[in-house]
Amino acid sequence: MPASPIRRLVPYADRAKARGIKVYHLNIGQPDIETPAEMMNGYRNVKNGYRNVNIRVLSYGPSQGLQDYIDALVQYYGRVGIKVRAQDILVTTGGSEAILFALDAVADTGDEVIVPEPFYTNYSGFAATACVKLVPVTCLAETGFALPPKAEFERAITSRTRAIIYSNPGNPTGAVYTRLELEMLEGLCVEHGLYLIGDEAYREFIYEDDTEHTSVLNLAGIEDRAGQGAGQLLQRSAARIPGPERLSMRRNREDTGGGLPQARGRILRCCQVADSRRRGIRHLHA
Ligand SMILES: Cc1ncc(COP(=O)(O)O)c(C=O)c1O
């Protein structure tokens, strides 16, 4: 998968601008015509809208997301005990895109991804888009849809298994997985070289005071192979190859030379992935 030329060129342009060089951006079709007043008025008039916005030309934002937004996310996650840096965040258009990117990053056509079921129905569509086979492991109403024992996951693992994906709290079950359950998944991923994709779209939807939410990003020991998507992809990781960004997984076989770092083993984290063992890439990233 080739790196986005738009994203690749931006760091060079930014560095040149910092040195006072005038840059003509031929890499992106930034408009220079005035945005129609009707449209800007529409923005101003929506409820809770952008009344004070005074933009003459509405142009593209940065591909990686607006810096203010990324900084706000770093602060938000810091407040809930998740330490991430701005460069660990890839802003996406909703959780769906984050999950699609994650699947694309960790798996190739025909690979398998394990998912506790019942699961969010659109995982089927995301998996189909990524040409990945979802392999369900059944959770039972009798146990409050807790994760089944490790042995059941192990039975589902084949030579094509690349990752485990789950939502926590679960849609549609509402189950909130305990730290122990998640550490069981973490252990599986470490033992079998899998990525762990935690979908935490509902992390704030917990209504019992004594129920603690454990984020995939708070599992110690799996920093190089865990990622979370909820409208932003978050990743962390350990070693990285030289490169302007530090995103995670790289699914390509070759170094695209550009933006996203690769990770060792199978990492999840968001956007590009690499598996050093399978694909001969030696280091990665985060
Ligand atoms: C568990 C879960 N993950 C991801 C999504 C997709 O989120 P978005 O609508 O931001 O694409 C949803 C949406 O309902 C969801 O329930």
122 occurs within a structural domain: yes
Nearest atom of ligand 1 to the alpha carbon of 96: 11
211 occurs within a structural domain: yes
What pLDDT is recorded for position 234? 58
25 occurs within a structural domain: no
190 occurs within a structural domain: yes
Cβ 11 under 6 angstroms from ligand 1: no
- Residue 168 CA to ligand 1 centre (angstroms): 12
57 occurs within a structural domain: no
| pLDDT higher than threshold 80 for residue 1 | no
CA–CA dist 115, 109 (Å, integer): 17
Portion of the chain with pLDDT greater than 90, in percent:
49
139 occurs within a structural domain: yes
Mutate to test the pocket of ligand 1, among 96, 99, 176 (most ligand atoms within 8 A of CB): 96
pLDDT digits (tens, 9 = 90+) for 26-44: 877 888 899 998 988 888 8
Cβ 2 under 6 angstroms from ligand 1: no
Nearest atom of ligand 1 to the alpha carbon of 171: 1
Under the phi-then-psi rule, with left for phi > 0, alpha for psi from -120 to 50, and beta for the rest, what region is 225?
Answer: alpha
The pair of three-digit structure tokens given for residue 273, joined into one six-digit string: 């992935």
Instruction: Report residue 235 CA to chain centroid gap.
Output: 7
- Residue 41 CA to ligand 1 centre (angstroms): 30
The CATH number of whichever domain residue 126 belongs to comes to 3.40.640.10
Three-class secondary structure of residue 12 per DSSP:
helix
- Residue 95 CA to ligand 1 centre (angstroms): 5
| pLDDT higher than threshold 90 for residue 116 | yes
Cβ 92 under 6 angstroms from ligand 1: no
Cβ 167 under 6 angstroms from ligand 1: yes
pLDDT digits (tens, 9 = 90+) for 247-259: 233 233 233 333 3
Instruction: Report residue 44 CA to chain centroid gap.
Output: 32
| pLDDT higher than threshold 80 for residue 23 | yes
| pLDDT higher than threshold 70 for residue 93 | yes
| Weakest-pLDDT range from 40-44, 72-76, 111-115, 147-151 | 40-44
| Residue 270 or residue 160, greater confidence | 160
What pLDDT is recorded for position 148? 97
pLDDT digits (tens, 9 = 90+) for 152-195: 999 999 999 999 999 999 999 999 999 999 999 999 999 999 99
Averaged pLDDT of the chain: 78
Please state the rounded mean pLDDT for residues 51-58. Answer: 80
Mutate to test the pocket of ligand 1, among 101, 134, 167 (most ligand atoms within 8 A of CB): 167
Nearest atom of ligand 1 to the alpha carbon of 199: 3
Cβ 153 under 6 angstroms from ligand 1: no
Report the 10 Å Cβ neighbour count for 18.
8
What pLDDT is recorded for position 10? 86
Q: Which residue range(s) make up the domain with 134?
A: 67-285
What pLDDT is recorded for position 271? 28
Query: Per-residue confidence at 96, pLDDT binned at 50, 70, 90?
Result: very high
What pLDDT is recorded for position 173? 96
* Domain count across the chain: 1
Give Cβ neighbours of residue 253 (< 8 Å, ≥ 6 apart): 279, 280
9 occurs within a structural domain: no
Query: Per-residue confidence at 270, pLDDT binned at 50, 70, 90?
Result: very low
The pair of three-digit structure tokens given for residue 82, joined into one six-digit string: 């998740």
Nearest Cα residue to atom 7 of ligand 1:
95
